[in-house]
Amino acid sequence: MQDFETFLADHMPTVDTFHPQYNEALQTMLLAGGKRFRPRLLLGIVEAYQPLLLESAMHPALALEVFHTYSLIHDDLPAMDDAALRRGHPTLHTRYDDALAILAGDALNTHAFEILAQSPFRADVRIELVRILAKNGGSGGMVLGQAIDLHFEKHPLHLDEVLELHRNKTAKLIAASLEMGAVIVGLELPVRRALYDFGIELGLLFQVQDDILDATLSSEEAGKPTNHDQDKNSFITLLGLEGAQAYADGLAESLEERFSGFEAPLRKALEPLMRQYLFRHRTPVKK
């Protein structure tokens, strides 16, 4: 069976066009690398319960990565974060122009749902996968979080409001990755809900860690601009660096305890990811 990186490289979005840069714009940020965290969560669930479905599950895993990449392309635009670097490469609007970056993001957004619609599962499974991604990535999920983040720049929020911001902007798509894996293997609704709730808390931890890394890494080390969140409602601006690190410790320890209660196959499949990411904010960094 192909690994995910090979599958991604073999399934790049490509269209027949005389536009000289369009296909390259669609593919550049997908090929630039990244953690592949969301696809790995989905594939981990499938590996735990139905490893024979892993080849088929590559399709929704790819849809998640394509959708996430669209969100990064738009997040970097001048009207949003105005970033020049992503995954160690120039952002699309700096490589080409704003218009092509916007259109490439639009194309990847809709392409993700085409991948899901054509994935090799029963129609009811495909529909549920589409619903989960749309619900968590769309108007009441990631997009809402981004809108809150941008609207309240330079306007400090309370902790409960910052948590709501990042549940939407970051955590829901991570939670959706786990739930989509649960749908593929047919887990019961209570287990799906438990995995989704775990994913929300994991997503919040991921965001706190990103805020800590933004404050402690150089742009070269992070592969994207850092130290640019001073006007944003980050956990660093709200809690300070030590407070954010303590908050991340609490989330990580809570997640570790919850993870220990999962079934053995699930713990075995996801343990490498948990070991890699639960306490990454404690990794010594150079400055």
Q: What is the mean pLDDT of residues 271-279?
A: 94
What's residue 230's pLDDT?
66
pLDDT for residue 132 is more than 70 = yes
What's residue 283's pLDDT?
72
pTM: 0.93
What's residue 223's pLDDT?
61
Residues 45-72: pLDDT tens digits?
A: 999 999 999 999 999 999 999 999 999 9
- Residue 83 identity (one-letter amino acid): A
On average, the pLDDT of the chain sits at 93
Q: How sure is the predictor about 88, in pLDDT bands with cuts at 50, 70 and 90?
A: confident
Buried b (16+ CB within 10 A) or exposed e, 175-196: bbbbbbbbbbbebeeebbebbb
Helix or strand or coil: residue 89? strand
pLDDT for residue 287 is more than 50 = no
What's residue 279's pLDDT?
93
What's residue 224's pLDDT?
61
Q: How sure is the predictor about 184, in pLDDT bands with cuts at 50, 70 and 90?
A: very high
Percentage of the chain modeled with pLDDT above 70 = 93
What's residue 154's pLDDT?
87
pLDDT for residue 126 is more than 90 = yes
pLDDT for residue 137 is more than 90 = yes
Q: Could you give the CA distance from residue 251 to residue 239 in angstroms, rounded to a whole number?
A: 14
What's residue 285's pLDDT?
46
Domain ranges of the chain: 4-282
The alpha helices in 152-188, defined as continuous H runs, are 159-166, 172-185
Lowest mean pLDDT among 77-81, 118-122, 225-229: 225-229
Q: What is the mean pLDDT of residues 235-247?
A: 94
What distance, in Å, lies between the first and last C-alpha atoms of the chain?
41
Fold of 4-282: Farnesyl Diphosphate Synthase (1.10.600)
- Is 15:22 a contact under the CB 8 Å cutoff? yes
pLDDT for residue 78 is more than 60 = yes
Q: Which residue has the higher pLDDT, 121 or 33?
A: 121
Q: Could you give the CA distance from residue 58 to residue 9 in angstroms, rounded to a whole number?
A: 12
